[in-house]
Chain A
Amino acid sequence: MRIRNFGLIALATGMFVISPLLAGQTPLKSGVPKEKTQNSKPAPGPHDLTGIWTGPYEESIIPNKLLTPWAAEKFNQQKTERQVGDRPIIYDGEKNNTDPLVKGCDPPGVPRVYYHPRPFEIMQIPGRLILHYEEYNTFREIWTDGRQIPNDPDPTWNGYSVGRWEGDTLVVDTIGFNGKTWVDNAGHPMSDAMHLTERFHRIDRDHMSIEYTFEDRKALTAPFTYKKTYDAHPDWEITEYFCTMEDMQEFYKHVMQPAGKGK
Chain B
Amino acid sequence: MKIKMASIFAMTFGLLIISAPLLAHHGTAAYDYARTVNLKATITGFVWANPHCQIEFDAKDDSGNAQHWIIEAFNPAMLQRDGWTKGRESMKPGDEVTVSFHPSKNGEKVGILDKVTLASGQVLRQHAAQSQAPGDAPYR
Cα A83 to Cα B30 with chains together (Å) = 10
Say whether A185 faces chain B, with CB atoms less than 8 Å apart.
yes
Cα A250 to Cα B54 with chains together (Å) = 10
Contact, CB under 8 Å: B70 / A56: no
Say whether B120 faces chain A, with CB atoms less than 8 Å apart.
no
Say whether A99 faces chain B, with CB atoms less than 8 Å apart.
yes
CB distance from B90 to the nearest CB of A (A): 16
Q: With A239-B77, A259-B30, A259-B104 in contact, do A54 and B110 touch (Cβ < 8 Å)?
A: no
Say whether A200 faces chain B, with CB atoms less than 8 Å apart.
no
Say whether B2 faces chain A, with CB atoms less than 8 Å apart.
no
Contact, CB under 8 Å: B81 / A260: no
Neighbouring B residues of A82 by C-beta, 8 Å: 27, 29
Neighbouring A residues of B136 by C-beta, 8 Å: 56
CB distance from B1 to the nearest CB of A (A): 33
Within 8 A of B (CB), among A64-100: 80-83, 89, 91, 93, 99
Cα A207 to Cα B135 with chains together (Å) = 12
Known: A239-B77, A248-B51. 17 other contacts (CB 8 A): A56-B131, A59-B22, A81-B26, A89-B29, A89-B30, A102-B26, A117-B130, A118-B77, A185-B25, A229-B133, A231-B134, A251-B72, A254-B54, A255-B71, A255-B110, A256-B72, A263-B106
Tell me the B residues contacting A by CB distance below 8 Å: 22-23, 25-31, 47, 49-52, 54, 70-72, 75-78, 80-81, 104, 106, 108-111, 130-136
Cα A262 to Cα B107 with chains together (Å) = 10
14 A-B pairs, CB-CB below 8 angstroms? A57-B22, A81-B26, A89-B29, A247-B50, A251-B72, A255-B72, A258-B110, A259-B30, A259-B104, A259-B108, A259-B111, A260-B30, A262-B106, A263-B30
The tally of CB-CB contacts under 8 A between chains A and B is 103
Cα A134 to Cα B70 with chains together (Å) = 26
Cα A82 to Cα B78 with chains together (Å) = 21
Contact, CB under 8 Å: B51 / A243: yes
| Secondary structure class of chain A's binding surface, majority of residues | loop
Out of A57, A59, A251, A259, which one reaches B106, CB within 8 Å?
Answer: A259
Say whether A236 faces chain B, with CB atoms less than 8 Å apart.
yes
Tell me the A residues contacting B by CB distance below 8 Å: 54-57, 59, 80-83, 89, 91, 93, 99, 101-102, 116-118, 134, 185, 207, 229-231, 236, 239-244, 247-248, 250-251, 254-256, 258-263
Contact, CB under 8 Å: B26 / A256: yes
CB distance from A103 to the nearest CB of B (A): 11
Out of A56, A81, A102, which one reaches B28, CB within 8 Å?
Answer: A81
Cα A1 to Cα B26 with chains together (Å) = 63
CB distance from A8 to the nearest CB of B (A): 35
Neighbouring A residues of B109 by C-beta, 8 Å: 258
Neighbouring B residues of A83 by C-beta, 8 Å: 27, 29
Cα A225 to Cα B120 with chains together (Å) = 50
Contact, CB under 8 Å: B70 / A255: yes
Which of A81, A247, A256 is packed against the most chain B CB atoms within 10 Å? A256
Neighbouring A residues of B50 by C-beta, 8 Å: 241-244, 247
Contact, CB under 8 Å: A259 / B25: no
Cα A251 to Cα B47 with chains together (Å) = 10
Cα A242 to Cα B134 with chains together (Å) = 28
Cα A229 to Cα B132 with chains together (Å) = 11
Neighbouring B residues of A236 by C-beta, 8 Å: 81
